[in-house]
Amino acid sequence: MSSPRPPDLTPAAPERVPESERVDRPVVVVPGRTVLALLALALLAGGIVLWAATAVVDRSVVVPGLAVVGGSVIGLESPVPGRLATARPAAGTVVRSGQTVAVVESVTAGVLPLTAPVDAVVLDAPLDVGDPVEAGERVLVLERTNGATVVRAFVAPDDAARIGPGTRAVVSFPDRGPVDALVDAVGSLPVETEQAAQSLGGPALGAIVAPRDGLTPVRLRPAPGAAFPTPRAGTVADRLTEVRLIVESRHPLEYVIQG
């Protein structure tokens, strides 16, 4: 009689589970909305980079300005020392070329009439009848009534160093909106407030447009296709403007890279 066969204790080979049926693998579920959101973020980031590399951001300086017909005022000065012998036209009066606008009486030279060199409006009349006057002292300040309107402004020397003829600007006139402009000239040296006041027509206007010493004069003209409005004769409000000078234009990416 044969003995019983011992059981086979050899471990069976593990059954191979198809990869698709395994449950120990991490499963990443990406809903359709998430894909769209990621795509939108990628497009947004690309748009920001493109904008930063191609767009231009202007840095500007805003200062007060003064519109002057003909570009500069005319100071009518006494040629000799003496006194103002007759009443002079009040500020705002329109005078004609060759018209006698004041008379200076001098001990040495007698009676000297002062005449307007051009058609003009009186901006300032600082003296009264009987007031003493020195040789070279202003008796009247005139502004032309004919000619192109130019805007005068004064800027800090650091800003003046960043601009030059052709620099873009925007000039805003009271109740008339902004006008595109270009820098026509920049002064070579800063000026004192007294010098600025003389070039603008008087200390009151100088205090507004050039409120402190050491500012550099700037003259502006309309950009091609634009025009400055002509101020009404004798008015101050029409002549005061706001000037925005574009002192620098850079791409936003440059600010990030260069700081």
Per-residue model confidence (pLDDT) at position 108? 83
Per-residue model confidence (pLDDT) at position 73? 85
CATH of domain 73-144: 2.40.50.100
Per-residue model confidence (pLDDT) at position 169? 94
Beta strand spans in 96-215 (E)? 100-106, 110-115, 120-124, 132-133, 138-144, 149-155, 168-173, 177-186
Burial class from Cβ neighbours inside 10 Å (0-12, 13-18, 19+) for residue 19 reads exposed
Please give the backbone phi and psi of residue 249, each rounded to the nearest 5 degrees, phi first: -130, 120
| 3 state SS of 77 | strand
Q: Which amino acid is at 176?
A: R
Contact 172, 182 (CB under 8 A): no
Sheet order of strands, 138-144 included: 74-77, 138-144, 120-124, 94-95
What's the pTM? 0.67
- Over the range 39-62, which residues count as b (16 or more CB within 10 Å of their CB) and which as e? eeeeeeeeeeeeebeeeeeeeebe
As a whole number of Å, the CA-based R_g of the chain is 39
Successive 10-residue mean pLDDT values, the chain, 259 residues: 59 59 56 72 71 60 90 87 87 90 88 91 87 91 88 93 92 88 93 88 85 94 92 75 80 52
Which region, left, alpha or beta, applies to residue 182 given φ > 0 means left and ψ of -120 to 50 means alpha?
Answer: beta
Burial class from Cβ neighbours inside 10 Å (0-12, 13-18, 19+) for residue 164 reads exposed
Pick the CATH number of 58-70+147-254 from 2.40.30.170, 3.40.1190.20, 1.10.645.10, 1.10.3720.10: 2.40.30.170
Domain boundaries, given as residue ranges, for the chain: 58-70+147-254, 73-144
